[in-house]
Amino acid sequence: MPNNCNVKPENENPFDIVRQQIDASAAILKLSSQEIALLKNPVRELHVSLPVRMDDGTTKVFQGYRVQYNDARGPGKGGIRFHPQETIDTVRALAAWMTWKTALLDLPLGGAKGGVICNPKELSQAELQRLSRAYVRAVYQFIGPDKDVPAPDVYTNPQIMAWMADEYSVISGKPQFGVITGKPISLGGSPGRGDATARGGMYAIREAARVLGIDLSKATVAIQGYGNAGYHAARLCKELFGARVVAACDSQGSVYCEEGIDPEEAYACKCSTTSVCNMDGVETICGDDLLSLDVDILIPAAMENAINSHNAGEVKARIVAELANGPTTPEADEILYANGVHVIPDFLCNAGGVTVSYFEMVQNFYMYRWDEKEVYQKLDQRITDAYQSVWKASCEHNINMRQAAYVVALQRVVEAMKLRGWV
């Protein structure tokens, strides 16, 4: 079996999964067929072709997307992925999850997502900048500070957001940095945005540990995926809780060390050699072996469908904290729940990113900046409130945490649709 934590072990269409999850929650909420139909389809989506002049003088055409899934509760919000395996169904699914995520955190926003089919690792900085600007030119009329606000996602970063914000401002004829979040601080970015996704996940893990009676200072952690979210998760597990990270993986392989892996050392190794597998003093293990380690907390922070019907029965962790989007298939959810594994669903666990992006929007609107401490306090309160709402719904309806999160989020979206006269 390949030692690669980004390989999708199961050929699941993520948008089919979204619709399955909606059907299950709709039955609990007793939603009408009209309400279900609106929830299961994007309000609008845009397909674009992006001609980009390459460094060698040739022109290459890239395919891009922007899906605005549901804006009943407010302007669209969601990241932009640059990924070679991007698909429209993945973008649709991610936009749907963003809709539930903003509703669950009770943010006055809807859900959206964007993507470009490309491999950023094969592009020069100049080519990447031209691609970023081409994307904004193509979707300009469909985005805006009060319409749809993109953000970084897989293989995009603050520099790419800065180029995009600048391109939108050039077209607008005035500075409009509020069109994008996840920007560098000097262009209106928010303090605390860099580790917001992981930090929000830590607050959710803390609440789950309280419910389950787990002493986090003695906890062991395995992290599947060592990108931005995975690295910050490893760092914060140690920094906030004193927990011990014993395993980590990236696209090239997985490593294990019973005594603990130093998060900073692993990150430095990945930056200098492209993989955590090149660390000294660690054991190389199979990708699926990482998922089945006897640890307290498993953090999937890579791609979709990592935990599926083939490996869910092997998961021994007491908590699965989903920092990735859609890492667990519906079949796996049932297995984990039956086995007593406490899953913190993705659109709760990784909602720190969009929450601090919302804070960035607010700061941009009134041209003021909060300090990092204030951002973290506000984030903690939002995540804590959301976790408690989901846990309460889980207990009341005797359902798993994902279904409970859907119940809370969909109820809020449907209420907004009813009030606006959509149904």
Percent of the chain residues topping a pLDDT of 70: 97
**HSE of 303, CA atoms in CB hemisphere, 13 A:** 22
What is the C-alpha to C-alpha distance for residues 143 and 180, in angstroms, rounded to an integer? 9
Q: What is the mean pLDDT of the chain?
A: 94
DSSP letter string, 101-143: HHHHTT-S--EEEEEEE--GGGS-HHHHHHHHHHHHHHHGGG-
Q: What pTM, to 2 d.p., does this model score?
A: 0.91
Beta pairing, strands 220-224 & 244-250: parallel
Beta pairing, strands 76-83 & 111-117: parallel
The predicted-structure confidence for 73-83, as pLDDT tens digits, reads as follows 999 999 999 99
Is it the case that residue 7 has pLDDT exceeding 50? no
Q: What is the mean pLDDT of residues 291-317?
A: 93
Lowest mean pLDDT among 79-83, 266-270, 303-307: 303-307
Is it the case that residue 119 has pLDDT exceeding 90? yes
What is the C-alpha to C-alpha distance for residues 31 and 47, in angstroms, rounded to an integer? 31
The structure tokens 């922007």 sit at 66
Pick the catalytic residue from 77, 113, 183, 238.
113
Q: Residue 185 is encoded by which pair of tokens?
A: 């601080």
Catalytic annotation on 378? Answer: no
Q: What is the mean pLDDT of residues 292-303?
A: 94
Closest CA to 70 of 419, 421, 416, 400: 416
Closest CA to 89 of 176, 21, 186, 15: 15
Lowest mean pLDDT among 138-142, 220-224, 324-328: 324-328
Question: Could you give all domains of the chain from N- to C-terminal order, each with its CATH number?
Answer: 1-40+194-350+400-423 (3.40.50.720), 42-185 (3.40.50.10860)
Is it the case that residue 248 has pLDDT exceeding 50? yes
Q: What is the pLDDT of residue 304?
A: 78
The predicted-structure confidence for 16-62, as pLDDT tens digits, reads as follows 989 998 999 999 999 999 999 999 999 999 999 999 999 999 999 99
Q: What is the pLDDT of residue 78?
A: 96
Return the number of other C-beta atoms located less than 10 Å from residue 305's C-beta. 22
Q: What is the pLDDT of residue 292?
A: 94
Q: What is the pLDDT of residue 5?
A: 52
The predicted-structure confidence for 80-103, as pLDDT tens digits, reads as follows 999 999 999 999 999 999 999 999
Q: What is the mean pLDDT of residues 175-188?
A: 96
Q: What is the mean pLDDT of residues 10-15?
A: 74
Is it the case that residue 255 has pLDDT exceeding 70? yes
Give the pLDDT band of residue 305 (cuts 50, 70, 90): confident
The predicted-structure confidence for 378-388, as pLDDT tens digits, reads as follows 999 999 999 99
